[in-house]
Amino acid sequence: MSNAPQSTSQSTSTVACVRTVLSEIDASIRFPALFFVIAAIHWLIVGTGLTLITALQLHQPSFMAGCEFVTYGRLYPAATNAMLFGWGCNVIFAIGLWIMARLSLAPIRSGGMLIVAGLFWNFGLKIGILGILAGDLTAAEFLEIPGYATPLLLISYALIGAWGILAFRARQGQGVYVSQWYILAAFFWFPWIYMIAEFMVVWFPARGVLQSITSSWFAYSFQNLWLTPMALATAYYVIPKVIGRPIHSYALALLGFVSLALLGSWTGMVQLIGGPIPVWISSVSIVAAVMMVVPVITVALNLYLSVKGQRAVVWRSPALRFVMFGVLSYFFANMVGSLMAFRSVNVITHFTTFPIGQDQHVVYAFFSMVMFGGLYFMLPRLTKREWPSTRLIYCHFWGSAFGITIVIVSLIVGGWLAGNQMNDATLPFLDVVESMLPWLKIRSVGVVCLAIGHLAFIINFLWMLFTIGFTRAKPGPTLLESANQEGAA
Amino acid sequence: MKNLPLLFCGILIALAFSFTGLVLSSYIQLGSLAQTTETLDETGNPVDGDPLYPAKMSGSALRGKAVYIDLGCVYCHTQQVRRAGYGSDLEREWGKRHTVARDYVTQANVLLGRQRIGPDLMTIGDRQSDANWQHLHLYNPKITSGGVSTMPRYAFLYETRAIDGTASVHALQFEADSKYAPAAGYEVVPTDRAEALVEYLLSLQLNYSLPEAQISE
């Protein structure tokens, strides 16, 4: 069934033909992708709720402290894992596979298996999160999911990742686009880093601080070789599609990809600067973290030049607005990250909320915002419906943009001030704790804004999914800042 | 990009490179690190007959460590002391010397931590060797911090019960007229988990030297 359109696309390369093939591909991946989107949104709700509770607990320690299962020490890892493995990985599976299939002009075969694999992934994750809440968490950050749940995650991932690689193998046509490099590479990198980390930290713990070295290596590789490439692939895909012209420079794209691949997994030991490890290990990571400016500047510049002069288009398209916010955050987050690696800066920021703000900068302001943009672009094509409400899109964008800015600024500024106080040994530690309180309260306000934004997004999504008659009749894509009939909707 | 074998090799080698450089080389350097004596003899070997450090932890302290892990204490408390001149860990008297990789070789789970929402606990057993203080602090951190601490209460590790006949010897000792004390005729008794956790906290000490990290008086 899928052979016919492919062979036509080889003989004739008219736009109409490609369109037919693309809608064929969209149809082949519709249900698996929607499944992953729904799963991602489900974890987004869980993660946002847990994050809000932990944010409040930090300045209101009596909040929900009576019951062991909802103490900060349990909820915090549960929130992180729900966001990273629930929201992050599911949205990657949806968008990554979709982009890979489209660019390879290869429909996804037996998508039912993909859904089964997805069910197992989310089932395993649910066991893992419940295990964390029940007190089975391991001691390593980002690897808290208990050892009995991770094999399920790895096995189901093997199926999901294989589908991406199979789609690439079945590709039609000559060129391999930059998004495909990133997605293909990340699909290989993730199981590798995850398996090594599970082996050396959880299943057969290595001796002493090797555990910490391995889990830091994992944490930063997870950011730089899993979340980042997938988000960049999305940005590289969505921007030319919406703008309607190719990306600015192939050479810059290549340089950005190669330098990220070479440097991305070397930066982890920044987390251990000053710690009980040989100094050369953290020095290597400091060098790598500073050199990360190369992939960051090339990619950000390339993407910026690709939309140059099209500000109105960027601002009107919901997808591009989110994506460009993410690209800007990619630049700023990594600049701050490189700065934080210097020993003289790190001596202040280490152990404070500064690195936490930095994590949020990368994982939310960059990765999640780009992925939201990807969803705004993908879902109308998958469901063949338009986004029902412009107002809710506005609400989502401004809630997320304001919220994450407040969160990052409060954690980074508060962390910086606290770090300076902590290094002044004449100041009692409890004074440092007290002066952090206002910043933590501001942070909670930011998290509330995020929650409002997510709520708007979820309502809009469910509306789109279930209100069939009204939305199908809508002419043209949903755009922002246009004085049309949308204001009434 | 048309050279696909190059792309594949690049993808695999890029990660193999950092794995070798960071994880494997650390493994080669640290993987066989073992306990040793406080000073070495002339040949650079451990002195015969001297006790080996870091000492292994007692069984009940290990059970307490499991409680420490399952309550997620590591998200707010580090267990590492940075060297003199880098941060103020030594000035704050969080340890008499900085910690090195060897200090952790006997631990099945290493809890370095990366956040100091609360103070470092590498030497909490040296700093607060009074078990009753530790219990009061866990029962309600406000008791021992003048009401300032933002640490949550771990009251669920304790049982408040009516005094039946004579008071338990394990019951928490509150200061006279403490507003946090239980009502008259009641006592607060630690559960097994609380006892184990305090045992673990008291065992967190750094009062030995290592050849590479001497305590300087």
Q: Which of B3, B23, B149 would best serve as a mutation to test chain A binding (most A beta carbons within 10 A)?
A: B23
Mean of pLDDT values over A342-362: 94
Q: Is residue A41's pLDDT more than 90?
A: yes
Per-residue pLDDT at A148: 94
In the 8-state DSSP scheme, what is residue B87?
Answer: S
Query: Burial of A435 by CB count in 10 Å (0-12 exposed, 13-18 middle, 19+ buried)?
Result: middle
Q: Is the Cβ–Cβ distance between B71 and A73 less than 8 Å?
A: yes
Q: Is residue A13's pLDDT more than 90?
A: no
Average pLDDT along chain B: 91
Q: Give the chain A residue nearest B116 (alpha carbons).
A: A351
Q: Do the Cβ atoms of A268 and B22 come within 8 Å?
A: yes
Mean of pLDDT values over B133-157: 92
Per-residue pLDDT at A3: 38
Residue B72 pLDDT level (bands cut at 50, 70, 90): very high
Query: Which of A80-89, A120-129, B147-156 is least confident?
Result: B147-156
Per-residue pLDDT at B1: 57
Query: How far apart (Å, rounded) are the C-alpha atoms in residues A29 and A64?
Result: 42
Task: Please tell me which of the candidates B1, B19, B153 has its beta carbon nearest to residue A196.
Answer: B19
Spell out a b/e string for A364-395, using b for 16 or more CB atoms within 10 Å of the CB, else e. Answer: bbbbbbbbbbbbbbbbbbbbebbbbbbebbbb
Q: To which residue do tokens 């070479």 refer?
A: A262
Per-residue pLDDT at A481: 66
Instruction: Report CA torsion sign: A210, A214, A220, A225.
Output: positive
Query: Which of A232-241, A438-447, A477-486, B193-202 is least confident?
Result: A477-486
3-state SS, residue B75: helix
pLDDT per residue over A428-482, tens digit each? 999 999 999 999 999 999 999 999 999 999 999 999 988 755 545 555 677 776 4
Q: To which residue do tokens 């280490």 refer?
A: A350
Mean of pLDDT values over B172-185: 88
Per-residue pLDDT at A476: 66
Q: Do the Cβ atoms of B7 and A188 come within 8 Å?
A: no
Q: Do the Cβ atoms of A274 and B11 come within 8 Å?
A: no
Per-residue pLDDT at B216: 77
Q: To which residue do tokens 């009074």 refer?
A: B130
Chain center to CA of B69? 10
Residue A486 pLDDT level (bands cut at 50, 70, 90): very low
Chain center to CA of B212? 21
Q: Which residues of B touch A67 (CB under 8 A)?
A: 156
Q: Is the Cβ–Cβ distance between A254 and A233 less than 8 Å?
A: no
Mean of pLDDT values over B12-17: 91
Per-residue pLDDT at A472: 52
Q: Do the Cβ atoms of A181 and B23 come within 8 Å?
A: no
Q: Is residue A11's pLDDT more than 50?
A: no
Q: Is residue A152's pLDDT more than 90?
A: yes
- Amino acid letter, residue A455: L
Residue A484 pLDDT level (bands cut at 50, 70, 90): very low
3-state SS, residue B147: coil
Size of interface A-B (CB pairs under 8 A): 209
Query: How far apart (Å, rounded) are the C-alpha atoms in residues A399 and A403?
Result: 6
Per-residue pLDDT at A348: 95
Query: How far apart (Å, rounded) are the C-alpha atoms in residues B156 and B191?
Result: 9
In the 8-state DSSP scheme, what is residue B121?
Answer: -
Q: Report the share of chain A in percent with pLDDT over 70.
A: 93
Most distant pair of Cα atoms in chain A: their distance: 78
Mean of pLDDT values over A218-222: 95
Instruction: Report CA torsion sign: B41, B45, B47, B48.
Output: negative
Q: Do the Cβ atoms of A356 and B152 come within 8 Å?
A: no
Per-residue pLDDT at A452: 97
3-state SS, residue B188: strand
Q: Is residue A114's pLDDT more than 70?
A: yes
Q: Tokens representing B193?
A: 């988990």
pLDDT per residue over A248-295, tens digit each? 999 999 999 999 999 999 999 999 999 999 999 999 999 999 999 999
**Residue among A104, A90, A77 nearest A43 (CA):** A90
Average pLDDT along chain A: 90
**Residue among B52, B35, B46 nearest B105 (CA):** B35
pLDDT per residue over A165-206, tens digit each? 888 888 887 788 999 999 999 999 999 999 999 999 999 999
Q: Which residues of A touch B158 (CB under 8 A)?
A: none
Q: Give the chain B residue nearest A178 (alpha carbons).
A: B1
pTM: 0.92
Angle, CA of B206, B209 and B215, to the nearest 5°: 85
Half-sphere exposure (Cβ direction) of A328: Cα atoms closer than 13 Å = 10
Alpha-helix runs per DSSP H in B31-127: 59-70, 124-127
Contacts of B143 (CB under 8 A, 6+ apart): B136, B137, B174, B178, B180
Q: Which of A137, A143, A174, A207 would best serve as a mutation to test chain B binding (most B beta carbons within 10 A)?
A: A207
Residue B178 pLDDT level (bands cut at 50, 70, 90): confident
Q: Do the Cβ atoms of A210 and B30 come within 8 Å?
A: yes
Q: Tokens representing A278?
A: 């040989």
Q: Is residue A125's pLDDT more than 80?
A: yes
pLDDT per residue over B155-176, tens digit each? 999 999 999 888 888 999 998 8
Q: Do the Cβ atoms of B112 and A425 come within 8 Å?
A: no
**Residue B36: beta bridge partners?**
B53
Query: How far apart (Å, rounded) are the C-alpha atoms in residues B40 and A345?
Result: 37
Predicted complex ipTM: 0.93
pLDDT per residue over B33-70, tens digit each? 889 988 888 888 888 888 888 999 999 999 999 999 99
User: Nearest 5°: phi and psi at B210?
Assistant: -125, 155
Per-residue pLDDT at A6: 41
Please state the length of chain B: 217
Task: Please tell me which of the candidates A262, A353, A423 has its beta carbon nearest to residue B14.
Answer: A262
Query: How far apart (Å, rounded) are the C-alpha atoms in residues A143 and A197?
Result: 8
Contacts of B185 (CB under 8 A, 6+ apart): B162, B163
Spell out a b/e string for A40-55, using b for 16 or more CB atoms within 10 Å of the CB, else e. Answer: bbbbbbbbbebbbbbb
Q: Is residue B128's pLDDT more than 50?
A: yes
Contacts of A338 (CB under 8 A, 6+ apart): A289, A290, A292, A293, A296
Q: Is residue B102's pLDDT more than 60?
A: yes
Q: Tokens representing A483?
A: 């004085």
